């Protein structure tokens, strides 16, 4: 079994070996201290937090806020996710930390805005090029932080944080890995003359992504019709193993990222067409995970989180999803690009049947899970995630009041409370250049979740408050050096 702990012992908060490095140590110390105060202060909310649950994060790819029955979709059937929401907590203001795949995954697994690690892209995407880039060795992933707290770790599904061996999951805290190292549309080998038609009538042989176990390719091209099914079987096998210590399972689906594929059990069954088939199979997968926890007696010992890496990829028409009432989708910083489903489930610990409009983010999973595990949030860097246990337990509110919206390396928008300011706007995909706004556009997301009515002229005082929040945020924002394009094909 791999032992990734030595490499990160100093960064995981070991008081005898912790090191502050680099010229940005002061801003990092200030920022991380604020986060650590939030983590350490949880019991003061009135309920002592339980310790050391199993942690499962189920992460969909390009699934929109409005794609589930429990979030209002009229024709996609998601009984298992609906039940998960009814038995747990459903958040309606839950965010991915980025608008596209790679940065959002880096943020989830580090608890940090992706600009800090360099795991974000420039405005000019680099497609189908061989890049040696990947998640920096200096980052302390959630898997590494939980392994340091005595957890078993496993990763199933899409990675997309670098495809060379040194960047794959088993070198960043995961003991096992089974999945595709990036998006399922990469390494395209179809005739270019097919254009977008390759996505609307997809065939497995049009793409050549590798299915991997550990660092070894076991199938290429991956048979994508059965990808969701086989990922689920792998996850269930892991859950059914005897566990002598708590575990962390990161289960990141490739679907519903195009090209869309569903198994025979689901193909042609949904009124929503192929996209609905894919979502309904994902729902089945969630049901298999939760039922396994129930039948093996692990349900009351396990925190399960379901979310998505960004909003729906709207340019693919009916092969893309729904952002519900929100504007735009994947690739943009309007609400539809970054507001995603967020469902938290833990029988006996998270009160059932709750809905909350409190602001929270995928980065917060990091601080929450590490605190519940009895671990230590790294104290030599800024960690942007906050501990959500007060909100999850029903004992208090979310410590998060603000959300910053990045597109690549630039901050486009900021939210504080119910108000959101746009400093730069740009269509998510297709035509349209960035437009800077002075004064910024301002929207009241409480009454205008679709961001249609600019109220900047009526509320200059709100803009000043948001500007102060942005300036505080920028003080501790030191960009990482590893600027990485989000789309990387695998090379042997």
Residue 160 appears among annotated catalytic residues: yes
**Closest CA relative to residue 360, chosen from 328, 324, 384:** 384
Helices (H), 170-219: 197-200
3-state secondary structure of 34: helix
Q: Is 101 annotated in the active site?
A: yes
Partners of residue 304 on adjacent β-strands = 56, 345
- Which residue shows structure tokens 């489903």? 341
Is 424:300 a contact under the CB 8 Å cutoff? no
Q: Furthest-apart CA pair in the chain: how many Å? A: 62
490 in Cβ contact with 210 (< 8 Å): yes
Q: Concatenated DSSP letters for 158-203?
A: ---S--SGGGSGGGTT-SEEEE-SS-TT-SB-S-GGGTTHHHHS--
Of residues 8, 73, 101, 167, which has the active-site annotation? 101
CA dihedral 475, 481, 483, 484 (to 10 degrees): -120
Local structure of residue 303 (DSSP, 8 states): E
Per the residue annotation, which of 8, 73, 121, 160 is the catalytic one? 160
Listed in order, strand segments (DSSP E) in 290-372 are: 302-308, 342-345, 354-361
> Which of 41, 27, 33 minimizes the C-alpha distance to 399?
41
Rounded CA-CA distance 314/412 in Å is: 20
Indicate the helix (H) or strand (E) that contains 372. helix 364-372
Give the active site residues: 101, 160
């Amino acid at each position: 079994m791999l032992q990734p702990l030595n490499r990160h012992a100093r960064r995981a908060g070991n008081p005898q070996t912790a090191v502050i490095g680099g010229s940005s140590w002061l801003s990092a110390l200030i920022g991380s201290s604020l986060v650590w105060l939030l983590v350490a202060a949880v019991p003061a909310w009135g309920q002592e937090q339980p310790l050391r649950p199993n942690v499962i994060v189920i992460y969909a790819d390009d699934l929109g806020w409005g794609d589930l029955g429990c979030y209002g979709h009229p024709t996609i059937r998601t009984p298992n996710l609906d039940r998960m929401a009814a038995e747990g907590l459903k958040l309606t203001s839950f965010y991915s930390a980025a608008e596209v795949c790679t940065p959002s995954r880096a943020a989830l697994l580090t608890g940090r805005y992706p600009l800090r690690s360099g795991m974000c892209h420039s405005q000019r995407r680099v497609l189908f090029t061989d890049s040696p880039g990947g998640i920096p060795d200096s980052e302390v992933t959630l898997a590494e932080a939980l392994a340091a707290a005595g957890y078993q770790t496993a990763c199933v599904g899409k990675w997309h944080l670098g495809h060379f061996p040194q960047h794959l999951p088993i070198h960043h805290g995961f003991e096992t890995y089974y999945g595709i190292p990036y998006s399922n549309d990469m390494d395209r080998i179809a005739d270019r003359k097919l254009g977008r038609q390759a996505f609307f009538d997809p065939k497995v042989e049009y793409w050549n992504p590798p299915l991997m176990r550990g660092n070894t390719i076991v199938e290429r091209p991956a048979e994508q019709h059965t990808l969701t099914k086989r990922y689920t079987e792998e996850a269930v096998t892991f859950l059914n193993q005897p566990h002598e210590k708590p575990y962390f399972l990161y289960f990141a689906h490739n679907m519903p990222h195009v090209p869309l594929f569903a198994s025979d059990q689901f193909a042609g069954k949904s009124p929503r067409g192929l996209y609905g088939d894919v979502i309904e199979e994902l729902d089945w997968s969630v049901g298999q995970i939760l039922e396994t926890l129930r039948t093996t007696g692990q349900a009351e010992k396990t925190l399960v989180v379901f979310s998505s890496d960004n909003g729906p990829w709207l340019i693919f028409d009916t092969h893309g999803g729904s952002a519900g009432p929100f504007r735009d989708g994947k690739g943009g910083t309007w609400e539809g690009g970054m507001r995603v489903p967020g469902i938290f489930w833990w029988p006996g610990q998270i009160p059932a049947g709750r809905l909350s409009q409190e602001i929270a983010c995928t980065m917060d999973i990091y601080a929450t899970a590490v605190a519940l595990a009895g671990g230590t949030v790294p104290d030599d860097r800024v960690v942007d995630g906050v501990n959500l246990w007060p909100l999850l337990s029903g004992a208090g509110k979310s410590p998060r009041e603000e959300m910053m919206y990045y597109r690549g390396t630039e901050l486009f928008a900021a939210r504080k409370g119910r108000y959101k300011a746009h400093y730069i706007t740009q269509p998510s995909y297709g035509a349209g250049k960035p437009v800077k706004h002075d004064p910024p556009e301002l929207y009241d997301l409480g009454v205008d979740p679709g961001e249609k009515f600019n109220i900047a002229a009526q509320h200059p005082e709100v803009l000043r408050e948001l500007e102060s929040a942005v300036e505080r945020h920028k003080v501790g924002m030191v960009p990482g050096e590893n600027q990485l394009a989000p789309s990387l094909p695998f090379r042997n």
